[in-house]
Amino acid sequence: MKKILIAALRASVIALCALFISCGKKIMDSQTQYVFGTVCTVNLYADGSEELYAEVFKTLNGIDDKFNVNKEYSEISKVNQNAGSGNAVSVSQEVFEVVKVAKKVAKASENSFNPALGKLIRLWGIGTENARIPSEDEIADALKHCNPESIVLSQNDGKYFIEITDRETQIDLGAIVKGYGADQLAAMLESRGVKKALIDLGGNIYVFGNKSQNPDDLWRVAIRNPVNPDAEPVEVVSLKEGSVVTSGNYERYFEKDGIRYHHLLDGNTGYPAQTGLASVSVIGKQSMYCDALATAFFVAGKSGDILDKLDILEIKKIFVALDGKIVIK
């Protein structure tokens, strides 16, 4: 009996060695790179090979290259450069689709989420070295050029085009592109057979696969207290697969005379949105929608009927007020 056991053990050790030799790959810990102007960390657990991590960041950088308005060669920059020229710029299908969703969320949220805020965003410069409080005249002028209707999509002969009809309107997709990136990356990894992953694109989280050290096999994502990061999380979300995205007034801001000017701008007033909220988290299957909606809800100060106007299922949301307490909105 003992002999049989030893033989079986030997055989399994040999089989295990053979497996490692045949795979020939070393499992790497989570990897971090700066993409989308923020810290992006991806953990592929047992599938984390050097090649796959290289592919992960190639995918993310490839998306940033298409969407980043601070890269003058990006597709969105090309569209912006042609604003008011009468030229519809040829774009990739993915840029077209994301702008289409952005316009859809803008419509449903009555422009609380607004992809045409580029001019206003640049004016405030929040998160850059040039952050400042613009004059009232500058704000009034920028607000004349923030209409998402000026972004016109068209298709012709299997090709995709975007045209900005107003010379001074500029697209900015900073509030949706990380979510889109997380969805794309998750799809790529699942197609490669990755069984479990944690994607964190600057706080824009996407998880899939079993988290087997938890008895229920679910992931736990903590929602930090936006008022005091050292305090206990305001909530811990359990989920099997999907995304958790938070937009908050603590992410990027500057202070002047005791007032905090944060990066979530209200296209009605031209100022950072003041709706009594410190953060909004959105939990759902598609990170792109979670991302856009976190911004939309934050700026609107409520979820209201925004969701009813979009045909997306199973969205959960957590609103945290300026005193750090969860509120229903």
Q: Which residues make up the interface to ligand ADP (CB under 6 A)?
A: 113-114, 117, 121, 172, 174-175, 202-203, 247, 251-252, 263-265, 267, 291, 294-295, 299
How far CA 144 is from CA of 90, 112, 119, 244, 254, in Å, comes to 26, 16, 10, 34, 25
Least separation in angstroms between residue 108's CB and ligand ADP is: 13
H/E stretch holding 277:
strand 277-284
Q: Which does 83 bind (CB under 5 to 8 A by kind): ligand ADP, Mg ion, none?
A: none
Q: Strands 89-91 and 159-164, how do they pair?
A: antiparallel
Q: Which does 113 bind (CB under 5 to 8 A by kind): ligand ADP, Mg ion, none?
A: ligand ADP
Q: Which is nearer to Mg ion, 80 or 247 (by Cβ)?
A: 247
Cα–Cα nearest to 149, from 175, 114, 197, 173 = 114
Question: CB neighbours of 314 closer than 8 A, spacing ≥ 6?
Answer: 284, 285
Residue with structure tokens 């299957």? Answer: 285
For ligand ADP, which residue has the nearest CB? Answer: 174
Q: Which is nearer to Mg ion, 43 or 114 (by Cβ)?
A: 114
Q: Which does 265 bind (CB under 5 to 8 A by kind): ligand ADP, Mg ion, none?
A: ligand ADP
Least separation in angstroms between residue 107's CB and ligand ADP is: 13
Q: Which residues bind Mg ion (CB under 5 A)?
A: 175, 247, 291, 294-295
Q: Is 9 exposed, middle or buried (0-12, 13-18, 19+ CB in 10 A)?
A: exposed
Q: Which is nearer to Mg ion, 159 or 316 (by Cβ)?
A: 316
Structure tokens at 159: 């090709």
Least separation in angstroms between residue 40's CB and Mg ion is: 15
Q: Which is nearer to ligand ADP, 52 or 101 (by Cβ)?
A: 101
Least separation in angstroms between residue 24's CB and Mg ion is: 41
Question: CB neighbours of 179 closer than 8 A, spacing ≥ 6?
Answer: 204, 243, 245, 286, 287, 288, 289, 290, 291, 292
Q: Which does 277 bind (CB under 5 to 8 A by kind): ligand ADP, Mg ion, none?
A: none
Cα–Cα nearest to 266, from 110, 127, 154 = 110
C-alpha 4, offset from chain centre: 55
Least separation in angstroms between residue 306's CB and ligand ADP is: 13
Cβ proximity of 199 and 221 under 8 Å: no
Q: Which does 114 bind (CB under 5 to 8 A by kind): ligand ADP, Mg ion, none?
A: ligand ADP
Q: Which is nearer to ligand ADP, 47 or 172 (by Cβ)?
A: 172
Q: Which is nearer to Mg ion, 27 or 39 (by Cβ)?
A: 39
Residue type, 100: K
Residue with structure tokens 């859809």? Answer: 104
Least separation in angstroms between residue 173's CB and ligand ADP is: 8
Least separation in angstroms between residue 119's CB and ligand ADP is: 12
Residue type, 253: Y
Q: Which does 122 bind (CB under 5 to 8 A by kind): ligand ADP, Mg ion, none?
A: none
How far CA 103 is from CA of 109, 178, 215, 297, in Å, comes to 10, 17, 41, 15
- Polymer length of the chain: 329
Q: Which is nearer to ligand ADP, 163 or 291 (by Cβ)?
A: 291
Least separation in angstroms between residue 177's CB and ligand ADP is: 8
Q: Which does 170 bind (CB under 5 to 8 A by kind): ligand ADP, Mg ion, none?
A: none
Q: Which is nearer to ligand ADP, 202 or 304 (by Cβ)?
A: 202
What distance in Å separates the CA atoms of residue 281 and residue 108, rounded to the nearest whole number? 18
